Amino acid sequence: MAKTLFEKIWDKHVIKTIEDGPSVLYIDKHFIHEVTSPQAFKGLEQRGLKVFRPKQVVATADHNVPTINQHLPIKEELSRKQVQTLKENCEKFGIELYGLGHPYQGIVHVIGPELGVTQPGMTIVCGDSHTSTHGAFGTIAFGIGTSEVEMVLATQCLLQSKPKLMRINVEGKLNKGVVSKDIILYIISLISASGATGYAVEYAGSAIRNLSMEARMTICNMSIEMGARCGMIAPDEITFNYVKGRQFAPAGKAWDEAWAYWKTLYSDADAKFDKEININARDIEPMITYGTNPGMGIGVSGHVPALTEIDEKEKPSFEKSLLYMGLEPGTNIKGKKVDYVFIGSCTNSRIEDLRMVAAFVKGKHKADDVEVWIVPGSKQVEKQAKEEGIDKVFEEAGFILRQPGCSACLGMNEDKIPAGKYCISTSNRNFEGRQGPNARTFLASPLTAAAAAITGEVADVRELISTALEVE
């Protein structure tokens, strides 16, 4: 029978299905971090259990770490304690930890792929909603809660109901200045912040196939922002080439076997989806969000919806949102002043993102009253950026290159955007208070964020790209 990519992986990992209930799903890889794991370890201890398969668990510290002076002890006591607790738990339970100071440390969804831990055909979970990122390799990867972290630590299994299946096809060539972040912001604005709830989403079509692995990860990363259980892209030569040779990738005979299997991971021609959406890449322009959920996005040349364009039922949320953002309905977003630029997070902090920003800003300087933070996703990204001289480009532009971590993505560590300030951010969430109490967030691509860094306001990057510098 014809199967989708999702079904091929799912069927291979279901141990059994409870009658009239969920399936028992076997989990290949489990990533953990300091914030959502302590209570799970505590639960294990209370039950007197060990970690069932410690070799299938990888840990890092990312959410609560500072992004300057990482060699010093963490200042804030509770953060320090949480990071310390992770270390103790990993030692006690025999789990590999890439903690602060380790050359592999970084944001959990950046390091998994970068180390070759993430491989096609796997089931991957993490107590973090952006686990969907790993789906870019053709895996079933999704975020779980702490009770579920405990379950996976204890049994390497989870109880899951099979989601419905959706395919989103993006066909055609992208416009100048449009990158993968714009594709996903466009999709979410089209189907809303809840438009894919209950679905596993497969992204397909020529515009997706042409993307690099980094760009594919950006798309899968934000699947959760439309409610999807997971997002995935069928693996192909681009995927295999990316994985090959990485630290934990299979090698030699194991590689040949894995590769032969991975090549079977695609949706069969007549496989059935519960829903299909077709998008023309030509319709996408550089995107930006104006509101307080990632579905509130518009093309950068567009305007904030007028009240008359909003559904009666949605008005209370819409008005609250604009009040928070300090924006008027019906106004243009271009030209809006920004105070901070944050380029980082598991959505856009990979080497390709940094290269893209560097290529654009080379020889330019940031606007005077803007603060620009570039936060690499991992130690390895940081190292590579330095090797390539990207750090120098940033320095000359007046940007600050910080150390790896989640940073200003979530208003938990030291990096917060002050109340009332506007931040254009390459992260994935613009919720109220996400970047700090009363901070205001515009989500955008690294290119659009870089354009704002140079001009000091929301700008249309297409107007700033000279024909000589074609940033794809």
260 is an interface residue for other proteins by CB under 8 A: no
Q: Which does 4 bind (CB under 5 to 8 A by kind): ligand SF4, other proteins, none?
A: none
- Specify whether the CB–CB gap between 445 and 300 falls below 8 A: no
| Whole-angstrom Cα Rg for the chain | 21
CA 253 to chain centre: 32
403 is an interface residue for other proteins by CB under 8 A: no
Angle at 394 between CA 186 and CA 294, to 5 degrees: 20
Q: Which of 27, 341, 409, 454 binds ligand SF4 (CB under 6 A)?
A: 409
- Specify whether the CB–CB gap between 450 and 185 falls below 8 A: no
Measure Cα distances from 312 to 305, 308, 317, 319 in Å: 13, 9, 10, 11
Which residue stretch of 79-87, 145-153, 403-411, 448-456 sits at the interface with ligand SF4 (rule: CB under 6 A)? 403-411
346 is an interface residue for ligand SF4 by CB under 6 A: yes
- Specify whether the CB–CB gap between 340 and 357 falls below 8 A: no
Site string for other proteins, 18-57 (x = CB under 8 A): x-xxx-x-x--------xx-xx--xx---x-x--------
Which residue stretch of 190-198, 228-236, 319-327, 406-414 sits at the interface with ligand SF4 (rule: CB under 6 A)? 406-414
C-alpha span between 120 and 104 (Å, rounded): 21
CB closer to ligand SF4, 434 vs 440: 434
C-alpha span between 465 and 197 (Å, rounded): 37
Site string for other proteins, 226-245 (x = CB under 8 A): -x-x----------------
Residues 71-110 binding ligand SF4 (CB under 6 A) are: 107, 109
159 is an interface residue for other proteins by CB under 8 A: yes
C-alpha span between 232 and 142 (Å, rounded): 10
Q: Which does 425 bind (CB under 5 to 8 A by kind): ligand SF4, other proteins, none?
A: none
410 is an interface residue for ligand SF4 by CB under 6 A: yes
What sign does the CA torsion over 324, 329, 334, 336 have?
negative
Q: How far is the CB of 127 from ligand SF4 (least distance, A)?
A: 10
Residues 420-439 binding other proteins (CB under 8 A) are: 429, 431-434, 437-438
233 is an interface residue for ligand SF4 by CB under 6 A: no
Q: Which of 1, 316, 363, 467 binds other proteins (CB under 8 A)?
A: 316
CA 196 to chain centre: 17
